[in-house]
Structure 1
Amino acid sequence: MIDAHCHLIPAIDDGAKDLAMAMAMARLAAQAGTTVLFCTPHHLNGVFNNPRTAVLTHLQQLQQQLADSGIELLLAAGAELHLTPELPGQVLDGNALTYADRGQAVLVELPKRTVPLGTEAILEQLLYRDVTPVIAHPERNSELIRNPQRLAEWVDWGCKLQLTAQSCAGDFGPPIQQVSRDWCLHGWVHLVASDGHRPQGRSPDMRKGYAQLQHWLGQEAADILTEQNPRCLLEGQPLKSIPASIPAQQQTRPHWLRRWLR
Protein backbone atom coordinates (compact mmCIF):
# COMPACT_ATOMS: atom_id res chain seq x y z
CA MET A 1 0.00 0.00 0.00
CA ILE A 2 0.91 3.66 -0.42
CA ASP A 3 -0.31 6.01 2.31
CA ALA A 4 -1.35 9.36 0.81
CA HIS A 5 -1.87 11.19 4.13
CA CYS A 6 0.17 10.83 7.32
CA HIS A 7 1.64 13.11 9.99
CA LEU A 8 4.96 11.35 10.43
CA ILE A 9 7.54 14.14 10.55
CA PRO A 10 8.23 14.73 14.25
CA ALA A 11 7.52 17.88 16.25
CA ILE A 12 6.16 20.07 13.46
CA ASP A 13 2.39 19.61 13.88
CA ASP A 14 -0.07 17.50 15.91
CA GLY A 15 1.36 14.22 14.62
CA ALA A 16 4.48 12.46 15.89
CA LYS A 17 5.66 14.44 18.91
CA ASP A 18 9.30 13.35 18.68
CA LEU A 19 11.68 11.20 16.66
CA ALA A 20 11.03 8.10 18.76
CA MET A 21 7.31 8.30 18.01
CA ALA A 22 7.95 8.93 14.32
CA MET A 23 10.19 5.87 14.14
CA ALA A 24 7.57 3.75 15.91
CA MET A 25 4.92 4.92 13.46
CA ALA A 26 7.15 4.25 10.47
CA ARG A 27 8.02 0.78 11.72
CA LEU A 28 4.33 -0.01 12.25
CA ALA A 29 3.39 1.26 8.80
CA ALA A 30 6.08 -0.84 7.14
CA GLN A 31 5.05 -3.94 9.08
CA ALA A 32 1.42 -3.35 8.05
CA GLY A 33 2.31 -3.41 4.36
CA THR A 34 2.87 0.25 3.53
CA THR A 35 5.84 0.70 1.19
CA VAL A 36 5.55 4.43 0.45
CA LEU A 37 4.19 7.09 2.78
CA PHE A 38 3.38 10.71 1.99
CA CYS A 39 4.36 13.01 4.86
CA THR A 40 1.61 15.64 4.94
CA PRO A 41 2.04 18.06 7.86
CA HIS A 42 -0.56 20.73 8.54
CA HIS A 43 -0.01 24.14 6.97
CA LEU A 44 -2.04 27.38 6.84
CA ASN A 45 -4.39 26.32 9.65
CA GLY A 46 -3.51 29.19 11.98
CA VAL A 47 -1.59 26.92 14.35
CA PHE A 48 1.12 25.19 12.32
CA ASN A 49 3.31 26.79 9.68
CA ASN A 50 5.15 24.28 7.49
CA PRO A 51 6.26 25.87 4.22
CA ARG A 52 7.58 23.82 1.35
CA THR A 53 11.33 24.23 1.85
CA ALA A 54 11.17 23.39 5.56
CA VAL A 55 9.12 20.23 4.98
CA LEU A 56 11.48 19.00 2.27
CA THR A 57 14.44 19.43 4.63
CA HIS A 58 12.68 17.57 7.46
CA LEU A 59 11.66 14.83 5.02
CA GLN A 60 15.20 14.24 3.83
CA GLN A 61 16.48 14.03 7.40
CA LEU A 62 13.77 11.58 8.45
CA GLN A 63 14.34 9.38 5.41
CA GLN A 64 18.00 9.06 6.36
CA GLN A 65 17.08 8.19 9.94
CA LEU A 66 14.74 5.45 8.70
CA ALA A 67 17.48 4.06 6.49
CA ASP A 68 19.96 4.10 9.37
CA SER A 69 17.46 2.13 11.48
CA GLY A 70 16.75 -0.43 8.77
CA ILE A 71 13.11 0.60 8.29
CA GLU A 72 12.14 -0.03 4.66
CA LEU A 73 9.70 2.79 4.02
CA LEU A 74 10.02 5.37 1.24
CA LEU A 75 8.86 8.84 2.23
CA ALA A 76 7.23 11.23 -0.23
CA ALA A 77 6.54 14.94 0.09
CA GLY A 78 3.20 16.56 0.70
CA ALA A 79 1.25 18.80 3.05
CA GLU A 80 -2.28 19.09 4.40
CA LEU A 81 -3.28 22.64 3.51
CA HIS A 82 -6.11 24.27 5.42
CA LEU A 83 -8.65 25.81 3.07
CA THR A 84 -8.07 29.56 3.20
CA PRO A 85 -8.24 32.34 0.59
CA GLU A 86 -4.42 32.35 0.60
CA LEU A 87 -4.18 28.69 -0.44
CA PRO A 88 -4.07 29.08 -4.25
CA GLY A 89 -1.43 31.80 -4.05
CA GLN A 90 0.68 29.77 -1.64
CA VAL A 91 0.60 26.81 -4.02
CA LEU A 92 1.33 28.80 -7.15
CA ASP A 93 4.18 30.71 -5.47
CA GLY A 94 5.80 27.44 -4.37
CA ASN A 95 5.41 28.20 -0.66
CA ALA A 96 3.06 25.27 -0.01
CA LEU A 97 3.83 21.67 -0.89
CA THR A 98 1.83 19.78 -3.44
CA TYR A 99 1.81 15.99 -3.72
CA ALA A 100 5.33 14.75 -4.52
CA ASP A 101 6.28 18.43 -5.03
CA ARG A 102 4.96 18.18 -8.60
CA GLY A 103 2.56 21.13 -8.54
CA GLN A 104 -0.28 18.97 -9.85
CA ALA A 105 -2.39 17.89 -6.85
CA VAL A 106 -2.77 19.26 -3.34
CA LEU A 107 -4.32 17.86 -0.14
CA VAL A 108 -6.95 20.30 1.16
CA GLU A 109 -8.43 20.24 4.66
CA LEU A 110 -11.80 21.75 5.58
CA PRO A 111 -12.98 22.51 9.11
CA LYS A 112 -14.57 19.58 10.93
CA ARG A 113 -18.15 20.87 11.04
CA THR A 114 -18.53 23.52 8.34
CA VAL A 115 -17.76 24.38 4.75
CA PRO A 116 -16.49 27.97 4.79
CA LEU A 117 -17.99 30.68 2.64
CA GLY A 118 -16.01 30.89 -0.57
CA THR A 119 -14.92 27.25 -0.62
CA GLU A 120 -16.12 26.69 -4.17
CA ALA A 121 -14.26 29.79 -5.39
CA ILE A 122 -10.99 28.53 -3.88
CA LEU A 123 -11.43 25.07 -5.40
CA GLU A 124 -12.23 26.63 -8.77
CA GLN A 125 -9.07 28.76 -8.61
CA LEU A 126 -6.97 25.65 -8.11
CA LEU A 127 -8.71 23.72 -10.87
CA TYR A 128 -8.42 26.66 -13.27
CA ARG A 129 -4.66 26.55 -12.74
CA ASP A 130 -4.55 22.78 -13.36
CA VAL A 131 -3.98 21.93 -9.70
CA THR A 132 -6.24 19.10 -8.52
CA PRO A 133 -7.71 19.55 -5.02
CA VAL A 134 -7.74 16.33 -3.00
CA ILE A 135 -10.31 16.83 -0.23
CA ALA A 136 -9.01 15.31 3.01
CA HIS A 137 -11.41 13.15 5.07
CA PRO A 138 -14.71 14.74 3.89
CA GLU A 139 -16.61 11.90 5.60
CA ARG A 140 -15.76 13.58 8.92
CA ASN A 141 -17.25 16.95 7.92
CA SER A 142 -20.77 17.41 9.31
CA GLU A 143 -21.93 19.81 6.59
CA LEU A 144 -20.87 17.50 3.76
CA ILE A 145 -22.57 14.55 5.45
CA ARG A 146 -25.80 16.59 5.52
CA ASN A 147 -25.39 17.76 1.92
CA PRO A 148 -23.49 15.08 -0.02
CA GLN A 149 -24.64 16.47 -3.37
CA ARG A 150 -22.40 19.46 -2.75
CA LEU A 151 -19.48 17.05 -2.54
CA ALA A 152 -20.66 15.22 -5.65
CA GLU A 153 -20.58 18.53 -7.52
CA TRP A 154 -16.96 19.05 -6.52
CA VAL A 155 -16.12 15.59 -7.83
CA ASP A 156 -17.85 16.46 -11.11
CA TRP A 157 -15.61 19.52 -11.37
CA GLY A 158 -12.50 17.37 -10.99
CA CYS A 159 -11.82 17.40 -7.26
CA LYS A 160 -10.76 14.09 -5.69
CA LEU A 161 -11.79 12.63 -2.33
CA GLN A 162 -9.54 10.99 0.27
CA LEU A 163 -11.23 8.98 3.01
CA THR A 164 -9.57 7.81 6.22
CA ALA A 165 -8.92 4.08 6.54
CA GLN A 166 -10.20 4.13 10.13
CA SER A 167 -13.47 5.68 8.93
CA CYS A 168 -13.95 2.71 6.61
CA ALA A 169 -13.03 0.30 9.41
CA GLY A 170 -15.65 1.78 11.74
CA ASP A 171 -13.19 3.17 14.28
CA PHE A 172 -14.92 6.58 14.24
CA GLY A 173 -18.34 5.01 14.74
CA PRO A 174 -21.15 3.56 12.60
CA PRO A 175 -22.38 6.88 11.14
CA ILE A 176 -19.05 7.77 9.58
CA GLN A 177 -18.51 4.20 8.41
CA GLN A 178 -21.93 4.23 6.72
CA VAL A 179 -21.17 7.48 4.93
CA SER A 180 -17.77 6.13 3.84
CA ARG A 181 -19.41 3.02 2.43
CA ASP A 182 -22.07 5.00 0.55
CA TRP A 183 -19.58 7.38 -1.02
CA CYS A 184 -17.33 4.50 -2.07
CA LEU A 185 -20.28 2.72 -3.66
CA HIS A 186 -21.25 5.92 -5.50
CA GLY A 187 -17.78 5.96 -7.06
CA TRP A 188 -16.90 9.34 -5.54
CA VAL A 189 -13.78 8.23 -3.64
CA HIS A 190 -10.28 8.22 -5.14
CA LEU A 191 -7.95 7.61 -2.18
CA VAL A 192 -8.04 5.94 1.22
CA ALA A 193 -5.20 6.87 3.57
CA SER A 194 -4.32 6.55 7.23
CA ASP A 195 -4.18 10.19 8.40
CA GLY A 196 -1.91 8.65 11.02
CA HIS A 197 -0.88 10.84 13.94
CA ARG A 198 0.56 8.39 16.49
CA PRO A 199 1.33 4.67 16.91
CA GLN A 200 -1.92 3.85 18.73
CA GLY A 201 -5.39 5.26 18.18
CA ARG A 202 -4.71 7.38 15.10
CA SER A 203 -2.39 4.75 13.69
CA PRO A 204 -0.78 4.53 10.23
CA ASP A 205 -1.87 0.87 10.03
CA MET A 206 -4.38 0.70 7.15
CA ARG A 207 -5.06 -3.04 7.17
CA LYS A 208 -8.52 -2.94 8.76
CA GLY A 209 -9.65 -0.22 6.39
CA TYR A 210 -8.27 -2.10 3.40
CA ALA A 211 -10.09 -5.27 4.45
CA GLN A 212 -13.36 -3.34 4.66
CA LEU A 213 -12.78 -1.83 1.21
CA GLN A 214 -12.27 -5.33 -0.17
CA HIS A 215 -15.57 -6.38 1.40
CA TRP A 216 -17.46 -3.41 -0.03
CA LEU A 217 -15.81 -3.06 -3.43
CA GLY A 218 -13.63 -6.07 -4.22
CA GLN A 219 -9.86 -6.27 -4.38
CA GLU A 220 -9.39 -4.39 -7.66
CA ALA A 221 -11.13 -1.22 -6.45
CA ALA A 222 -9.53 -1.50 -3.01
CA ASP A 223 -6.12 -1.58 -4.69
CA ILE A 224 -6.97 1.47 -6.80
CA LEU A 225 -7.78 3.47 -3.66
CA THR A 226 -4.80 2.37 -1.57
CA GLU A 227 -2.01 1.66 -4.08
CA GLN A 228 -2.67 2.61 -7.69
CA ASN A 229 -4.02 6.13 -7.19
CA PRO A 230 -1.45 7.06 -4.54
CA ARG A 231 1.21 5.89 -7.01
CA CYS A 232 -0.37 8.17 -9.61
CA LEU A 233 0.19 11.07 -7.20
CA LEU A 234 3.80 9.99 -6.82
CA GLU A 235 4.33 9.81 -10.59
CA GLY A 236 2.24 12.81 -11.61
CA GLN A 237 -0.42 10.78 -13.41
CA PRO A 238 -4.22 11.32 -13.42
CA LEU A 239 -6.13 9.48 -10.72
CA LYS A 240 -8.51 6.68 -11.68
CA SER A 241 -12.17 6.50 -10.69
CA ILE A 242 -13.72 3.36 -9.28
CA PRO A 243 -17.04 2.23 -10.77
CA ALA A 244 -20.24 3.19 -9.00
CA SER A 245 -22.09 0.23 -7.49
CA ILE A 246 -25.22 2.16 -6.54
CA PRO A 247 -26.57 5.49 -7.85
CA ALA A 248 -26.19 8.47 -5.53
CA GLN A 249 -29.98 8.86 -5.43
CA GLN A 250 -30.22 5.59 -3.49
CA GLN A 251 -28.15 6.85 -0.55
CA THR A 252 -30.12 6.40 2.65
CA ARG A 253 -29.69 7.67 6.17
CA PRO A 254 -30.41 5.16 8.93
CA HIS A 255 -32.34 6.58 11.90
CA TRP A 256 -29.22 6.68 14.07
CA LEU A 257 -27.39 8.71 11.40
CA ARG A 258 -30.21 11.25 11.26
CA ARG A 259 -30.06 11.65 15.06
CA TRP A 260 -26.27 12.04 14.98
CA LEU A 261 -26.51 14.90 12.44
CA ARG A 262 -28.98 16.99 14.44
Structure 2
Amino acid sequence: MIDLHIHILPGIDDGPRTLEESLEMARMAVADGITTVVATPHLFSHRAVALEDFNAPDTIREAVAALNRELAAAAIPLIVLPGCEVPLFADILKFVESNRVLSLNDGGRYISLEMPDTVIPPATEDIIFHLSSLGLTPIITHPERNPIFYEMPQKLKRLLSLGCLAQITARSLTGGFGWRVSRFTKKLVRAGMV
Protein backbone atom coordinates (compact mmCIF):
# COMPACT_ATOMS: atom_id res chain seq x y z
CA MET A 1 0.00 0.00 0.00
CA ILE A 2 1.17 3.55 -0.73
CA ASP A 3 0.50 6.59 1.46
CA LEU A 4 0.47 9.68 -0.76
CA HIS A 5 0.43 12.26 2.02
CA ILE A 6 2.54 12.06 5.15
CA HIS A 7 4.52 14.53 7.20
CA ILE A 8 7.39 12.20 8.11
CA LEU A 9 10.56 14.23 7.55
CA PRO A 10 12.11 15.26 10.87
CA GLY A 11 12.34 18.96 11.62
CA ILE A 12 10.96 20.14 8.28
CA ASP A 13 7.46 21.34 9.15
CA ASP A 14 4.77 20.47 11.69
CA GLY A 15 5.57 16.77 11.43
CA PRO A 16 8.02 14.87 13.63
CA ARG A 17 10.68 16.93 15.37
CA THR A 18 13.27 14.19 15.70
CA LEU A 19 14.62 11.31 13.67
CA GLU A 20 13.38 8.86 16.30
CA GLU A 21 9.82 10.18 15.88
CA SER A 22 10.16 9.73 12.10
CA LEU A 23 11.39 6.17 12.54
CA GLU A 24 8.49 5.40 14.89
CA MET A 25 6.04 6.77 12.31
CA ALA A 26 7.71 4.54 9.70
CA ARG A 27 7.36 1.48 11.94
CA MET A 28 3.66 2.24 12.42
CA ALA A 29 3.17 2.66 8.67
CA VAL A 30 4.84 -0.69 7.97
CA ALA A 31 2.70 -2.34 10.66
CA ASP A 32 -0.36 -1.01 8.80
CA GLY A 33 0.81 -2.63 5.54
CA ILE A 34 2.29 0.47 3.93
CA THR A 35 5.40 -0.11 1.81
CA THR A 36 5.90 3.32 0.26
CA VAL A 37 5.10 6.85 1.41
CA VAL A 38 5.35 10.22 -0.28
CA ALA A 39 6.77 12.77 2.14
CA THR A 40 4.70 15.92 1.74
CA PRO A 41 6.09 18.64 3.99
CA HIS A 42 4.33 21.96 3.74
CA LEU A 43 5.84 24.21 1.08
CA PHE A 44 6.15 26.99 3.62
CA SER A 45 8.07 26.16 6.76
CA HIS A 46 5.60 27.74 9.15
CA ARG A 47 2.42 27.14 7.11
CA ALA A 48 1.99 30.89 6.65
CA VAL A 49 2.78 32.02 3.12
CA ALA A 50 6.19 33.69 3.41
CA LEU A 51 7.63 33.76 -0.09
CA GLU A 52 11.26 33.72 1.06
CA ASP A 53 10.80 31.07 3.78
CA PHE A 54 9.90 27.91 1.92
CA ASN A 55 11.09 24.32 1.83
CA ALA A 56 13.19 24.25 -1.32
CA PRO A 57 13.06 21.12 -3.48
CA ASP A 58 16.73 20.31 -2.80
CA THR A 59 16.12 20.56 0.96
CA ILE A 60 13.25 18.08 0.69
CA ARG A 61 15.21 15.74 -1.60
CA GLU A 62 18.16 15.71 0.82
CA ALA A 63 15.87 15.08 3.81
CA VAL A 64 14.19 12.19 1.97
CA ALA A 65 17.55 10.65 1.03
CA ALA A 66 18.78 10.97 4.63
CA LEU A 67 15.61 9.38 6.02
CA ASN A 68 15.81 6.51 3.52
CA ARG A 69 19.39 5.84 4.68
CA GLU A 70 18.24 5.80 8.32
CA LEU A 71 15.33 3.49 7.48
CA ALA A 72 17.71 1.06 5.77
CA ALA A 73 20.12 1.19 8.73
CA ALA A 74 17.23 0.47 11.11
CA ALA A 75 15.96 -2.36 8.86
CA ILE A 76 12.56 -0.68 8.46
CA PRO A 77 11.15 -1.79 5.07
CA LEU A 78 9.65 1.52 3.98
CA ILE A 79 10.49 3.60 0.92
CA VAL A 80 10.09 7.37 1.18
CA LEU A 81 9.57 9.39 -1.99
CA PRO A 82 9.77 13.20 -2.20
CA GLY A 83 6.82 15.50 -2.55
CA CYS A 84 5.39 18.68 -1.11
CA GLU A 85 2.05 19.96 0.15
CA VAL A 86 1.40 23.20 -1.69
CA PRO A 87 -1.15 25.72 -0.47
CA LEU A 88 -3.31 27.51 -3.00
CA PHE A 89 -1.80 31.01 -2.86
CA ALA A 90 -1.47 34.00 -5.18
CA ASP A 91 2.02 33.16 -6.48
CA ILE A 92 1.58 29.41 -6.83
CA LEU A 93 2.04 29.47 -10.60
CA LYS A 94 5.29 31.45 -10.31
CA PHE A 95 6.56 28.89 -7.80
CA VAL A 96 5.60 25.97 -10.04
CA GLU A 97 7.04 27.53 -13.19
CA SER A 98 10.33 28.35 -11.44
CA ASN A 99 10.68 24.77 -10.12
CA ARG A 100 10.30 25.74 -6.46
CA VAL A 101 7.59 23.10 -5.93
CA LEU A 102 8.02 19.33 -5.94
CA SER A 103 5.38 17.20 -7.54
CA LEU A 104 4.60 13.85 -5.95
CA ASN A 105 7.57 11.56 -6.55
CA ASP A 106 9.59 14.54 -7.83
CA GLY A 107 8.97 14.75 -11.53
CA GLY A 108 5.58 13.13 -11.60
CA ARG A 109 2.44 14.73 -12.91
CA TYR A 110 0.58 15.11 -9.61
CA ILE A 111 0.78 18.00 -7.17
CA SER A 112 -0.54 17.90 -3.61
CA LEU A 113 -2.75 20.98 -3.25
CA GLU A 114 -4.08 22.29 0.05
CA MET A 115 -7.08 24.58 -0.24
CA PRO A 116 -7.67 27.51 2.11
CA ASP A 117 -10.29 26.71 4.73
CA THR A 118 -11.91 30.13 4.88
CA VAL A 119 -12.60 30.95 1.23
CA ILE A 120 -12.17 29.43 -2.21
CA PRO A 121 -10.36 32.26 -4.04
CA PRO A 122 -12.01 33.53 -7.24
CA ALA A 123 -8.89 32.62 -9.27
CA THR A 124 -8.97 28.96 -8.19
CA GLU A 125 -10.42 27.59 -11.42
CA ASP A 126 -7.94 29.60 -13.52
CA ILE A 127 -5.04 28.32 -11.41
CA ILE A 128 -6.23 24.72 -11.78
CA PHE A 129 -6.58 25.19 -15.53
CA HIS A 130 -3.05 26.59 -15.73
CA LEU A 131 -1.61 23.76 -13.62
CA SER A 132 -3.34 21.31 -15.97
CA SER A 133 -1.84 23.07 -18.98
CA LEU A 134 1.59 22.49 -17.39
CA GLY A 135 0.81 18.77 -17.24
CA LEU A 136 0.04 18.73 -13.52
CA THR A 137 -3.02 17.18 -11.91
CA PRO A 138 -3.83 18.76 -8.54
CA ILE A 139 -4.73 16.35 -5.76
CA ILE A 140 -6.77 18.26 -3.19
CA THR A 141 -5.57 17.17 0.24
CA HIS A 142 -7.99 16.28 3.02
CA PRO A 143 -11.08 18.02 1.56
CA GLU A 144 -13.20 16.28 4.20
CA ARG A 145 -11.65 18.51 6.86
CA ASN A 146 -12.26 21.73 4.95
CA PRO A 147 -15.28 23.64 6.34
CA ILE A 148 -16.06 25.15 2.93
CA PHE A 149 -16.38 21.75 1.27
CA TYR A 150 -18.35 20.43 4.23
CA GLU A 151 -20.88 23.25 3.94
CA MET A 152 -20.87 23.35 0.12
CA PRO A 153 -19.78 19.99 -1.35
CA GLN A 154 -20.72 21.28 -4.80
CA LYS A 155 -17.56 23.44 -4.68
CA LEU A 156 -15.44 20.31 -4.35
CA LYS A 157 -17.48 18.60 -7.05
CA ARG A 158 -16.80 21.54 -9.38
CA LEU A 159 -13.02 21.30 -8.82
CA LEU A 160 -13.15 17.56 -9.48
CA SER A 161 -15.02 18.23 -12.73
CA LEU A 162 -12.07 20.41 -13.78
CA GLY A 163 -9.69 17.46 -13.47
CA CYS A 164 -8.61 17.61 -9.84
CA LEU A 165 -8.46 14.52 -7.71
CA ALA A 166 -9.09 14.42 -3.97
CA GLN A 167 -7.36 12.47 -1.22
CA ILE A 168 -8.70 11.83 2.27
CA THR A 169 -6.96 11.16 5.56
CA ALA A 170 -7.49 7.65 6.95
CA ARG A 171 -8.04 9.10 10.41
CA SER A 172 -11.05 10.96 9.02
CA LEU A 173 -12.72 7.64 8.19
CA THR A 174 -12.16 6.24 11.66
CA GLY A 175 -13.55 9.24 13.51
CA GLY A 176 -10.21 10.72 14.55
CA PHE A 177 -11.41 14.21 13.61
CA GLY A 178 -14.90 13.79 15.05
CA TRP A 179 -18.14 12.22 13.92
CA ARG A 180 -19.08 15.08 11.58
CA VAL A 181 -15.86 14.75 9.57
CA SER A 182 -16.19 10.96 9.60
CA ARG A 183 -19.75 11.12 8.27
CA PHE A 184 -18.77 13.61 5.54
CA THR A 185 -15.74 11.48 4.58
CA LYS A 186 -17.92 8.42 4.13
CA LYS A 187 -20.34 10.47 2.05
CA LEU A 188 -17.46 11.55 -0.23
CA VAL A 189 -16.29 7.94 -0.56
CA ARG A 190 -19.79 6.69 -1.42
CA ALA A 191 -20.14 9.46 -4.01
CA GLY A 192 -16.83 8.46 -5.64
CA MET A 193 -15.37 11.92 -5.03
CA VAL A 194 -12.19 10.66 -3.36
TM over 0.5: yes
Partner of 1:72: 77
TM superposition shift of 1:68? 0.4
Q: Using structure 2 for the length normalisation, give the TM-score.
A: 0.92
Distance 1:168 1:113 in 2: 23
The structure whose residues are more often helix, as a share, is: 1
Alignment of 1:7-46 (within 5 A): 7-44=7-44, 45=47, 46=49
* 2:161 pairs with 1:184: no
Of the two structures, which has the highest relative contact order with CA contacts closer than 8 Å and spacing of 6 or more?
1
Residue ranges of structure 2 left out of the alignment (5+ in a row): none
Conserved 8 A contact 1:37-1:75: yes
Find runs of 4+ consecutive structure 1 residues off by over 3 angstroms. none
**Match for residue 63 of structure 1 among 59, 68, 73:** 68
Partner of 1:115: 120
Distance 1:100 1:125 in 2: 21
Conserved 8 A contact 1:105-1:132: yes
Distance 1:88 1:71 in 2: 37
Distance 2:121 2:173 in 1: 25
> For each residue in 1:151-189, what CA deviation from the matched residue of structure 2 results, as whole angstroms up to 9, or x when unmatched?
111111110001110111111111111111111111111
Conserved 8 A contact 2:140-2:167: yes
**Match for residue 167 of structure 2 among 162, 165, 175:** 162
Aligned letter for 2:66? Answer: Q
Alignment of 1:73-152 (within 5 A): 73-152=78-157
| Matched-pair identity in % | 33
